[in-house]
Structure 1
Amino acid sequence: MKQLSLLWGKLEEILIILSLALMTIVTFVYVVLNNLYQPFLSLAESSETLRPILEPIAIFIMTMAMEMTWSVALTKLFFGALIFLGASYGVRTAGHIGIDIVLKQFSPKGRRMISIFACLLCIGFVSLIAYASFGWISAMHAADVGAEDLHAFHIKVWHIGLIIPVGFGMILIRFIEILIRLLRGQQTDLGLADEANDALKINEEHKE
């Protein structure tokens, strides 16, 4: 079970890294191509000798840039995947900021009971969104509508929409894991980030 959890965590991290890397690479290539052909055209206009060589290169680069109309849509797709995968990763690693000034006034047992209730609310909300998104995905699958500017990759709207149920499904699993730990008494809260406490720790480290 521990190995499966470790594998699941690694897969989550790999998907996040892959989404971020692809989003960055596509944007970088598109920006470079859009700004690279102009210097070649300028050099070709200023030199009759080099024009036969530089002008075709400039036209080739410009054509590639114009054909990358899909780059913005693909970047948005990767960014959307990054948001939902990152939300799940944030739940697992306590990356989400917690407002627990009231919660800290209770005893450890009281904090655990309140956290269990809060966790159940989160599970209910996430389950509702995941379930509702499946209905939308089913409708888009039946319509078989192609994604704008992504026809070259044969990507449909429902393909993009899959990130919603998948992402919320991953978040649901993370909250279930937290609920199990709360019920077992392994933690007393949702394990959210405490910026104030982190800032105090950093301040103490600087003083030392």
Structure 2
Amino acid sequence: MHALTRLWEHLEEAFIAFLLAAMTLVTFTYVLFNNVYTFFYTLSDKWTVTSALFSSIGDHLMSVAQDMSWSVALTKALFGWMIFFGMSYGVRTAGHLGVDSLVKLTPRPVQRWLGMLACTCCLAYGGLFVVASLKWVAALLVAKIGAEDLDQFGIEIGFIAVIVPIGFGLVFIRYLEIFWRIFTHRQMGLGLADEAAEASKLAASSEEHH
């Protein structure tokens, strides 16, 4: 079970890294083509002998840049996927550390009950959005509405929106795991990774070495 958990964590991180890389590559390519053609037009004006060649290259690059109007829409879609897929990653890495710090000021029995109460609220929130977003995505898939600037590739709004129920479903599973761990006295905080505890351990280890 632990091996499967670690595998999923690696796949999760790899997918987020892929989305970031894809956004960067698409944006870089668009900016490159949108600016480099002016360089060839400049060369065309300076060297008369090769003017036709450079002018032709500039025309081609400008045409490619104009045809890449879909790049902005694709970047937005990838960013949306990263946000919703990354929600559960934020839960795992204790992205709410500031809230956890306040809870840790209370006695340990109170921390446990507050943690379970917080998890119950998060489960209700996540479950509500899973059900609602599933209905929304189902309606979009039935309507078959094309995504702006991406419909030329057969991409529909429903294909992009499907990440919403997936993201909230992953968040629901994360908090269900956290609730069980708190209930069974295996942890106190809301995160699957207690960054404060890890920082304390590293600091203590550093002092021992010195």
Tell me the TM-score normalized by structure 1. 0.89
Deviations 1:125-172 (A, max 9, x none): 011011100111111111111101002321101001101001111111
How do 1:48-63 residues align onto structure 2 when only pairs under 5 Å count? 48-63=48-63
Partner Cα separation in structure 1 for residue 151 and residue 112 of structure 2: 50
Note closer, same or farther for the CA distance 1:197–1:185 as it changes in structure 2 (3 Å cut).
Answer: closer
Note closer, same or farther for the CA distance 1:9–1:194 as it changes in structure 2 (3 Å cut).
Answer: closer
The residue type equivalent to 2:20 in the other structure is L
Alpha-carbon deviation of 1:101? 5.4
- Asked if 1 retains the 8 angstrom alpha-carbon contact of 2:111 and 2:188, the reply is yes
Note closer, same or farther for the CA distance 1:16–1:102 as it changes in structure 2 (3 Å cut).
Answer: closer
SS of the equivalent of 1:105 reads coil
Partner Cα separation in structure 2 for residue 100 and residue 89 of structure 1: 17
Q: Report the aligned-residue RMSD.
A: 2.4
Alpha-carbon deviation of 1:2? 1.5
Of all paired residues, the percent bearing the same amino acid is: 44
- Which residue in the other structure is 2:178 paired with? 178
Alpha-carbon deviation of 1:99? 2.2
Matched, 1:187 2:187: yes
How do 1:115-154 residues align onto structure 2 when only pairs under 5 Å count? 115-154=115-154
- Asked if 2 retains the 8 angstrom alpha-carbon contact of 1:109 and 1:188, the reply is no
Alpha-carbon deviation of 1:68? 0.3
Alpha-carbon deviation of 1:180? 1.3
Alpha-carbon deviation of 1:95? 2.4
- Which residue in the other structure is 1:44 paired with? 44
- Asked if 2 retains the 8 angstrom alpha-carbon contact of 1:88 and 1:170, the reply is yes
The residue type equivalent to 2:161 in the other structure is G
- Which residue in the other structure is 2:103 paired with? 103
- Which residue in the other structure is 1:67 paired with? 67
Note closer, same or farther for the CA distance 1:182–1:194 as it changes in structure 2 (3 Å cut).
Answer: closer
Deviations 1:180-206 (A, max 9, x none): 11111111121389999999999x9xx
Partner Cα separation in structure 2 for residue 113 and residue 156 of structure 1: 44
Alpha-carbon deviation of 1:175? 0.9
Partner Cα separation in structure 1 for residue 201 and residue 14 of structure 2: 30
Partner Cα separation in structure 2 for residue 42 and residue 7 of structure 1: 52
- Asked if 2 retains the 8 angstrom alpha-carbon contact of 1:129 and 1:168, the reply is yes
- Asked if 2 retains the 8 angstrom alpha-carbon contact of 1:96 and 1:193, the reply is no
SS of the equivalent of 1:125 reads helix
Moved >6 Å (runs of 4+): 192-202
- Which residue in the other structure is 2:10 paired with? 10
Partner Cα separation in structure 2 for residue 125 and residue 25 of structure 1: 35
Aligned pair count? 204
Tell me the TM-score normalized by structure 2. 0.89
How do 1:152-163 residues align onto structure 2 when only pairs under 5 Å count? 152-163=152-163
The residue type equivalent to 2:26 in the other structure is V
SS of the equivalent of 2:99 reads coil
Note closer, same or farther for the CA distance 1:102–1:96 as it changes in structure 2 (3 Å cut).
Answer: closer
Alpha-carbon deviation of 1:104? 2.7
Gaps of 5+ in 2: none
